[in-house]
Amino acid sequence: MAKAEIRNKIRRYRFDAGEMTQEELANRAGCTRQTIILMEQSRYVPSLALAFRIAGVFKAGIEDIFEYVGEEHEV
């Protein structure tokens, strides 16, 4: 299986949302602040459900925030 990476723009979206705090985003998305911190550092990839909830907080599409970066995937 090819190695893939999911990048995100959570930090930028928080900034654009009036410097929303990590804690506020965590509470609204239903995860811990630690998880938001790790996601912003690209050290944690969220589940699809959490990714949708985060996109929902920013009223954006999931692909606006999360980006799949990887080699061509193998089936």
* CA dist., res. 53 & res. 48, Å (int): 9
Compute the least distance from the CB of residue 15 to other proteins, in Å: 21
- Site of tokens 């998305």: 29
Q: Where are the alpha helices (DSSP H) in 1-75?
A: 10-16, 22-29, 33-40, 48-57, 62-65
Contact letters for other proteins, residues 5-44 (x by CB under 8 A): -x----------------x--xx--xxxxxx--x--x-xx
Q: Does 60 bind other proteins (CB under 8 A)?
A: no
Contact footprint for other proteins (CB under 8 A): 3, 6, 23, 26-27, 30-35, 38, 41, 43-47, 49-50
